[in-house]
Amino acid sequence: MSLSQLEKNKSSAKSFYDLMFNKNEPEKAVDLYVGDQYIQHNPEVENGKTGFINYFKKMSREYPGKKVIFKRVIAEKDLVVLHCHQIWPGNEDYAGIDIFRFDQNGKIVEHWDVLQVIPNESKNDNTMF
């Protein structure tokens, strides 16, 4: 994969995430950035485009003002990894890793994620980011 395609995939992953998470427009995010299929590995979200849209519509109703801050973006082959700070009003903040697989057309077709609560105290002086 060319360096320019890796950069495009990184940009698309960030734009997709910003649109669905920060701007609360999951339908538009799917229309612009998702391929023919969408395989979901998060057990809280149904497989497919509709399941994704429904989940983030619910999250925008339940957590208005939620936002994500991108800390790192890493790309290799057909994968992009976002390391993010997720802020959920009235809830705990999270350090998250989202992994997106892209198809040959530069569209997102698969997603994995892992989340960790950002603790109030740490046994070291390092941050989650």
| Cα separation, 1 vs 78, whole angstroms | 8
Six-digit token string for 59: 């999250």
Domain boundaries, the chain: 3-117
Top-tier CATH class for 3-117: alpha beta
Residue 14: pLDDT band with limits 50, 70, 90: very high
Residue 71 pLDDT? 98
CA distance linking residue 66 with residue 37, whole number of Å: 27
Report the chain's terminal Cα–Cα distance, integer Å.
28
Averaged pLDDT score across all residues of the chain: 95
How does pLDDT run across 79-125, given as a tens digit for each residue? 999 999 999 998 789 999 999 999 999 999 999 999 999 999 999 99
- Residue 29's pLDDT band (cuts 50, 70, 90): very high
